[in-house]
Each structure stands twice: as structure tokens, then as C-alpha cells.
Amino acid sequence: MFHIGHLNLLENARARCDYLIVGVNSDELVEIYKQRKAVVPFNERIRIVEALRAVDEAIRIDTLDKERLWHIKPFDLLFIGDDWKGQERWNETERVMLSHGVKTIYLPYTTGTTSTILREKLIGED
């Protein structure tokens, strides 16, 4: 679910690039890695992201593999929240993407609001 932390991340990313492409996870991908259905359907989520001033282009994402995404739509910078920094998956992603000339930039994570917290408040899920 889109929240202020996402907006902060996107605005921060936009300030560091000339053209911001934002990947919006498909409902199927959300279900695979979150192991639950998306509350807001993909078509609505991508429309929300496309409407943001900070976003130049929004694309559907069906994989967490950033290298595969780069082969589909090349990019120079990869932005992610700094709450992922140091995790094995992101250390490996950073190394692989650097081999393609892509720099990974960790942006400040907004504390206090997460999709999980919102989901719990709205629909009472853990």
C-alpha cells in the first residue's frame, strides 16, 4: 500500500536523476514474495504512481531480479531504501548491477509507517 515513506523515497530518488522510472510490482509478484494478496490492485497502484510529479514513467514488474529488469529496460541508477543496506540479497544485487555500470543508491528509510502497519490498522491482519 502506498504511504508517505514511498513518496519520500520517490521524491528523494527524483532529486538524484534526470528521468525516474518506477517499477510497480504485479499482483502475482506481491503474492509470491509477501505471501498474501495485494490490498490495492495493480491497475490502481500503477495509476497512483504514474500520477506523481516525481515519476516520469511507471512500469510493471514481475520479478525481483534487478539484472533481468535491466536487460528489459536499462538504467544507470538503482534506488532502494537504506533499511535494505547490508542484507545479503542487496549486497549481491549491488555487486551484479555494478558489473553493468549501475550504481545502487540507498535512500533514507522513513520510520514509523510501513505497508504492514497500515494493513494491520485497516484490515486487522498480522
Q: How much is the pTM?
A: 0.84
Residue 58 φ then ψ, to 5°? -120, 135
pLDDT of residue 80: 95
63 DSSP 8-state letter: -
Specify the pLDDT at position 113: 60
How many whole angstroms separate alpha carbon 109 and alpha carbon 112?
Answer: 10
CATH number of 4-121: 3.40.50.620
Classify each residue of 39-54 as buried b or exposed e, where b means 16 or more C-beta atoms within 10 Å of its C-beta: eeebeebbeebeebeb
For the chain, which residues make up each domain, given as ranges?
4-121
- Which three-class secondary structure state does DSSP give residue 99? coil
pLDDT by residue for the chain (126 residues), tens only, comes to: 788 888 999 999 999 999 999 999 999 999 998 888 988 999 999 999 999 999 999 999 999 999 999 999 999 999 999 989 999 999 999 999 999 999 999 999 876 665 555 556 566 655
Looking at residue 110, its pLDDT comes to 77
